[in-house]
Amino acid sequence: MKKYLLASTLILLFPLTAIADTEVGSTTESLTVNSTEQSALVSENTENTDSEISTNVTEETSSEAIDASKEKESVQSKVEETIEKSETPDALTSDEDPSQIREALKADYMSTILSPEEVDSYTDQQLLNAMTFVNRVNYDVYSLDISGYAHALQALYKDHTLSWDKIEQAMTYNPNDFKNALDMIPTISQLQNYLDALYPSTSSFIAIPKLSDEELTNILTHISPIQKEIVEKDGTLFPGIIAWIMTFSEDQSVLAGGTATSTTSTTSSQESSSEVTSSSEKEKAEVPATSESTPTKKTGFLPKTGEQRKVWLTVIGGIILVIVLFILIRKKKNSAH
């Protein structure tokens, strides 16, 4: 009889222990699956955000290219308006033969600018000096035609708003030798002297307002990223660097220290990348907080919920065992009497 009772007790306790182990295993597996799903969710969110940032940067880059193109068109339009290009059939060449220059100036279509008598009043040297000056303007600003040359000649020797002596000395400095506008800032005093001689504010040809060193520095800083983009795309800056200075010399926002669009976009992109990185790190940090009961490899502890269930089942089994033993002992005493 005692053997039957003991065997029944063990059979009763075995499924209880097995159930506890099964529940613990199920809980651990469930928590592991939840942790994996949360990690996958964070990874997906990070990839989606990175994709959005990449798209935004691409859109901003395209926007910058359009802005540079518009700036170029604006400068070119401003220059053509300033130099008053005419519909002349003959392009101006770097001719060093005074007789050929006179012949071009006496053409019928030039009669509205200067008369043959005025052409004859200029010496051969004056014609050559004007040609030297115009050749530099072609690089600084824009390629001139014969009418542009005529206006430069008159500014030098008729209007006297330009001085050949000053121009000749200033031309030892060449703004076209610099790869980027920022490279001109360390020698800004030479650039100032160059502008005063070739493009003074009082010139009847191409005039640039008198600028302070700070204003001129702000203009060069603004031009720099636009120039870099145009050079990378076209191989050279066109119109010339002086044309850009002339155009922005009337832009109050640039004179006050405005920056080019590409610089602002780059900064915004960097800030956006930093925000995304911080957000991703925050999401990853929050994952462990939602699964504090996940088993750790170092300690090997099981989830607290599983432990509590196993303890209660063990206690119940112990109580049953005590009851059985109590019954056995009681029957033994009764049988002894």
Each residue's pLDDT tens digit, 81-121: 766 554 555 556 666 799 999 999 999 999 999 999 999 99
101: Cβ contacts below 8 Å, ≥ 6 apart = 95, 127, 131, 149
pLDDT in tens, 40-61: 554 555 555 555 544 444 444 4
Domain boundary pick from 213, 240, 260: 260
Q: Is residue 267 part of a domain?
A: no
pLDDT of residue 60: 45
Whether residue 67 lies inside any domain: the answer is no
Question: Does 110 reside within a domain?
Answer: yes
Residue 68 lies in a domain: no
Whether 276 and 50 have beta carbons less than 8 Å apart is answered as yes
Span 251-271, average pLDDT: 62
333: pLDDT confidence band, cut at 50, 70 and 90? confident
Residues 254 and 297 in one domain: no
Pair (323, 177) in one structural domain:
no
Whether residue 215 is found in the same domain as residue 307: no
Shared domain check, 232 and 112: yes
Partner residues linked to 91 by β-bridges? 145
pLDDT one-digit tens code per residue, 117-155: 999 999 999 999 999 999 999 999 989 999 999 999 999
At which residue do the structure tokens 């405005």 appear? 258
Domain boundary among 207, 240, 260: 260
Pairwise CA distance, residues 136 & 75, whole Å: 18
How many CB atoms are closer than 10 A to CB 225? 22
Closest C-alpha among 142, 133, 170 to residue 240: 142
Same domain, 9 and 113: no
| 314 and 232 together in one domain | no
CA neighbours within 13 Å on the CB side: how many for 282? 6
Whether 220 shows a pLDDT value over 80: the answer reads yes
Cα 270 to Cα 42, 57, 67, 264: the distances in Å are 22, 10, 20, 10
As for how many domains the chain has, the answer is 2
For residue 182, what pLDDT is reported?
A: 97
Q: Do 309 and 177 share a domain, yes or no?
A: no
Domain boundary among 228, 260, 292: 260
pLDDT score of 37 more than 50: yes
Same domain, yes or no, for 92 and 196?
yes
323 — pLDDT class (breaks 50, 70, 90): confident
Dihedral over alpha carbons 230, 232, 238, 242 (to 10 degrees): 80
Q: Are residues 136 and 173 in the same domain?
A: yes
pLDDT at 331 over 50: yes
* Nearest by Cα to 181 from 118, 245, 119, 234: 245
Torsion of CA 66, 67, 71, 74, to 10 degrees: 70
Nearest partner of 136 among 182, 189, 177, judged by Cα: 177
Say if residue 238 is in the same domain as residue 296.
no
Do 165 and 229 reside in the same domain of the chain?
A: yes
120 assigned to some structural domain? yes
Give the bridge partners for 145, in sequence order: 91
Residue 325 lies in a domain: yes
In the predicted model, what is the mean pLDDT of residues 15-26? 49
Mean pLDDT of the chain: 75
Give the residue numbers spanning the domain of 129.
Answer: 78-260
Band (pLDDT 50/70/90 cuts) for residue 309 is low
Q: In this structure, is residue 59 part of a structural domain?
A: no
Q: CA–CA separation, 65 vs 265, rounded Å?
A: 12
What's the pLDDT at 66?
42
Identify whether residues 200 and 328 lie together within a single domain. no
